[in-house]
Structure 1
Amino acid sequence: MNGPASGLLELFDGQRLTPAQRRIAQCLVEHAADAAYLSSGELAELAQVSQPSVTRFAAALGFDGYPGLRRRLRELTAGTPRPADEHNEAQRAVLAEAGNLARLAESLADRRPVEEAGKLLAASRPLPVLGLRAAAPMAAYFGYFAAKVHPDVRVLDTGGSACADRLEQAHAAGATAMLAFVLPRYPREAHDAIREARHLGLSTIVVTDSPVSPVADDADLTLAAAVGSRLVFDLHTAPLALAGVLLQAMCDAAPAQTQSRLEAFEQSAARRQVFLP
């Protein structure tokens, strides 16, 4: 993509922004030709955020204040206007996910980390799967399918002392590993749970957005898949794909058990008419 919007996206890419800050970034891209000449108050009104949010946004990008950001925006937007057939913001966000998937595919050229994770997860009885806040649906997705091939999957989607209790119970029942999904904005309780799991002696496999995620140092095995950050809220396309790859690795690690449990489920589902014909 060419033009001023391209330069703006390069300025924002790789930055971990809050939802309010992403609204500002989205507004700047959509109004690239005019936004660089707005005051901080006018930009705040256009993006429907507070004026201090605009100031914090400039600081998050490394500028001393909004005037410095506005000077940079004027440099980036000087020149040719946006072409009439340019993708809109929604299209750019979805197309960026294709790039995240491509990078994930490239990282999977070395199958050893995923295969190791699959063996650890398949062998753990029970298998705790952690996902808090934004990562809770990811843990639920993984737990739903893992339960079809694993006899005791325990999804942990609430933090605090109750989470620590359930980890202790899983360990007492024989758990040897824990899978954790930790996505931006990295809940402190998720980090605490990973540390507690390691304290109990569990192998910790963490799916997160970057090899240098704040929780990576406390993981025995880190598997990274980038999240999309071009909309107000993250897109989790690549982490979801990685969850599917991990499920496959679990099945590959215990093929006989997988086949037996899948056949048993199909027989039970047919008897109970779980699915429509």
Structure 2
Amino acid sequence: MTVESPSVEARIHEANHRLTAAEKRAARGLLANYPTIGLAPVAEFAQQSGASAATVLRFIAQLGFKSYPDFQRCLREELEERAKSPLQRSLAAVRHQTAIGDFLGDFFSQVTSNMHASAARIPTSEFEAASARLADLKRGCHIVGGRFTDAMASYMEAHLRLVRPGVRRLDGRPAARNDQLLDIRADDTVVLFDIRRYDADLLEVAASLAARRAFMVLITDEWISPLSRYAKIVLPCRIAVDRTWDANTAIFALTEALIARATELAWPSAEKRMGSVEHN
């Protein structure tokens, strides 16, 4: 599977609006046990998702697969991509380096392509809905990231605290973060950053937030984090660049776009707060 191929989870989110009620049951079953039941026989998939085998096959067809084996092959390849460590990706990077001498120009070209692909893939309605949630002063706003994305969560928090009240970044330490979860109310907005190799601790956090009926916005990669099963809005960005390390440039650009749009939507509050800071 090439990086241009959308993940199965991405296909589900893109196809959701055209699925029947029965097909949505199959989709929910797969997302709730992703990707395990998708690798099982059709009959087992159907039983676990509460749908018929015929419905599962129609659901698979709606995702653009010609057959169930084709669907399972894509899942297996996706799992391989998700699990690749920087060490495994370094082999491809070395091969790429020998073929292209202009490393900086090539790298910039790849991340530029990733940014354009990410912008094209994120529906305007989803971006606007996420921005509106960030600008909604009636709801608390909480932000959390993982090992490599905590810096982006911190960057978003620093800006949004100037724009509106009630913004807080969840602590990276599980014990401290568990204390903070106690203060999150139903319908508060929570922005989660999660990229491959996905953070198991964040999956537990998302489950806890779902139990508290928080409104989750997930910023993730092209393979889509397992946290998507709990998120109301999923904003996927392309990060693969055929190098040792993934490039999070598109995610950072999306973060800045959300900050900029939320500032515009919350401008009466933002203007007063920013003015107070300037005059102190």
TM-score by length of 2: 0.65
**1:100 maps to amino acid:** N
Inter-CA distance 138–116: structure 2 relative to 1 (3 Å threshold): same
Tell me which residue corresponds to 1:220: 232
> Would the aligned equivalents of 1:117 and 1:249 in 2 still touch at CA under 8 Å?
no
Tell me which residue corresponds to 1:112: 125
Larger mean CA deviation between 142-151 and 99-108 belongs to 99-108
State the SS of the aligned residue for 1:230. Answer: coil
Q: Which of 137, 141, 152 is matched with 1:138 structurally?
A: 152
Tell me which residue corresponds to 2:86: 19
- Over residues 110-144 of structure 1, what are the superposed CA-to-partner deviations in whole Å (9 max), with x where a residue is unaligned? 42111111222222543210012111111011111
Q: Which of 240, 251, 258 is matched with 2:270 structurally?
A: 258
Distance between the aligned counterparts of 2:174 and 2:187, measured in 1?
20
Distance between the aligned counterparts of 1:175 and 1:213, measured in 2?
22
Tell me which residue corresponds to 1:162: 176
RMSD: 2.8
Larger mean CA deviation between 135-144 and 245-254 belongs to 245-254
Distance between the aligned counterparts of 1:165 and 1:112, measured in 2?
34
Shift of 1:199: 1.0
**2:124 maps to amino acid:** R
TM-score by length of 1: 0.66
- Percent identity over paired residues: 22
**2:97 maps to amino acid:** E
State the SS of the aligned residue for 1:231. Answer: coil
Counterpart check, 1:230 vs 2:230: no
> Would the aligned equivalents of 2:192 and 2:217 in 1 still touch at CA under 8 Å?
yes
Q: Which of 142, 150, 167 is matched with 1:128 structurally?
A: 142
Distance between the aligned counterparts of 1:22 and 1:210, measured in 2?
16
Counterpart check, 1:205 vs 2:217: yes
Inter-CA distance 153–252: structure 2 relative to 1 (3 Å threshold): same
> Would the aligned equivalents of 1:149 and 1:258 in 2 still touch at CA under 8 Å?
yes
Tell me which residue corresponds to 1:51: none
Distance between the aligned counterparts of 1:151 and 1:260, measured in 2?
11
Counting matched residue pairs gives: 204
**1:139 maps to amino acid:** A
Tell me which residue corresponds to 1:53: none
**1:140 maps to amino acid:** S
Larger mean CA deviation between 245-254 and 188-197 belongs to 245-254
State the SS of the aligned residue for 2:225. Answer: coil
> Would the aligned equivalents of 1:128 and 1:167 in 2 still touch at CA under 8 Å?
no
Inter-CA distance 89–9: structure 2 relative to 1 (3 Å threshold): farther
Gaps of 5+ in 1: 1-7, 32-81, 269-277
> Would the aligned equivalents of 2:110 and 2:241 in 1 still touch at CA under 8 Å?
no
> Would the aligned equivalents of 1:145 and 1:247 in 2 still touch at CA under 8 Å?
yes
Distance between the aligned counterparts of 2:143 and 2:248, measured in 1?
17
Distance between the aligned counterparts of 2:173 and 2:164, measured in 1?
24
Tell me which residue corresponds to 2:17: none
Shift of 1:22: 1.7
Shift of 1:157: 4.0
**1:30 maps to amino acid:** Q
**2:125 maps to amino acid:** R
Tell me which residue corresponds to 1:79: none
**1:137 maps to amino acid:** A
Distance between the aligned counterparts of 1:263 and 1:194, measured in 2?
36
Gaps of 5+ in 2: 5-76
Distance between the aligned counterparts of 2:197 and 2:255, measured in 1?
19
Distance between the aligned counterparts of 1:95 and 1:151, measured in 2?
39
Which structure: larger Rg? Answer: 1
